Amino acid sequence: VSPLSSPAPRGEFDLIARIRERTPEAAHVLRGIGDDAAVLAPGAPVPTLVTVDLLMEGVDFTLPPATPRLVGRKALAVNLSDVAAMAGVPRSAVVALCLPKSWSEGAVLELHAGLAELAAEFDTAVVGGDTNAWDGPLVLSVTVLGECTSHGPVLRSGALPGDWILATGAFGGSIGGRHLTFMPRVREALAIHAAAGDALHAAIDVSDGLAADLHHLLEESGVGAIVDADAVPIHPDAVSASARDGRTPLEHALSDGEDFELLLAASPEAGRRLLANPPCAAPLTRIGEFVAGSGCLLRAADGSRSPLPPLGWVHPVGGTAAR
């Protein structure tokens, strides 16, 4: 929508019509793509979750090695990971696009297909969007709405001293390709929450980096943490990355980011039960414990402790002051 550019010979409307045709109906969508707003039926009286993530070509992915299909997938997946970090159920998504004018309609439909496939896998309805083209690179912004379960949301702010730090999966080296293909831990979070109930105190997903996101959780909860260096699950991709750049696999695991695994705070009793009877197929590991105070320490095998700063991606905004 713009009065500042002259009309182009081809509109977005044909494309939207094609996307609309390819969008399955969903019981809770009273009106999806094609009106001024989507209309969603009232659901159960549980809290609504809302999360948005924006991806930029050249920053969050490059084409290649990414493909339009993988980029569409990732744009939804990062949002589903946020819903997982609240132990919520994703329900609906809207998609805003800046498409490079050079893109073919086929490329746009590939992007949509990647997003739609993952949406279908997680019973999430694509209910609307805004499609634009420009001379710049690809930008995608996806907003996901979800619902809490009857157990309520799991916030970042609930970790208590003494709680165990649990992690799903393994960490490091996602830049090798996993950042495009990871499976958001929606089902795992729901299974863990159902098993632990109120003893699951806090959760965050790892996008910025294990250490950085753990620090976010610590700040919101007002606690500190000790991480056992030997306990951090190292992804094989971190070993590969280490072989390339000489940084240790552990450094990669602690700082690379975009693992989209969950860090969880659970009472020791719940932690023990979860590890004894894992409620999900994904590996679940105790990587340390929350303590009174603030900040984070890394505990070596010999028991020695050193500060673990919020290593990881720091979003470049502004640029005036040093961190």
H or E stretch covering 306: strand 305-307
Complete DSSP assignment for 66-91 = S-HHHHHHHHHHHHHHHHHTTTEEEE
Alpha-carbon distance of 204 to 206, in angstroms, equals 7
Alpha-carbon distance of 294 to 95, in angstroms, equals 38
Smallest distance, a second copy to C-beta of residue 279, A: 20
By three-state DSSP, how is residue 152 classified? coil
Q: Which amino acid makes up residue 299?
A: R
What angle is formed at CA 17 by the lines to CA 11 and CA 18, rounded to 5 degrees?
105
H or E stretch covering 291: strand 284-291
Smallest distance, a second copy to C-beta of residue 194, A: 19
Smallest distance, a second copy to C-beta of residue 303, A: 31
Smallest distance, a second copy to C-beta of residue 145, A: 7
User: Is the CB of 261 or the CB of 299 nearer to a second copy?
Assistant: 261
Smallest distance, a second copy to C-beta of residue 280, A: 18
Alpha-carbon distance of 172 to 316, in angstroms, equals 21
User: Is the CB of 57 or the CB of 228 nearer to a second copy?
Assistant: 57
User: Is the CB of 307 or the CB of 323 nearer to a second copy?
Assistant: 323
* 216: its two tokens: 């976010």
Local structure of residue 61 (DSSP, 8 states): B
| 119: Cβ contacts below 8 Å, ≥ 6 apart | 76, 93, 125, 126
| 75: Cβ contacts below 8 Å, ≥ 6 apart | 53, 55, 95, 115, 140, 141, 142
User: Is the CB of 170 or the CB of 299 nearer to a second copy?
Assistant: 170
Smallest distance, a second copy to C-beta of residue 317, A: 4
Smallest distance, a second copy to C-beta of residue 298, A: 19
User: Is the CB of 79 or the CB of 285 nearer to a second copy?
Assistant: 79
User: Is the CB of 94 or the CB of 232 nearer to a second copy?
Assistant: 94
User: Is the CB of 134 or the CB of 244 nearer to a second copy?
Assistant: 134
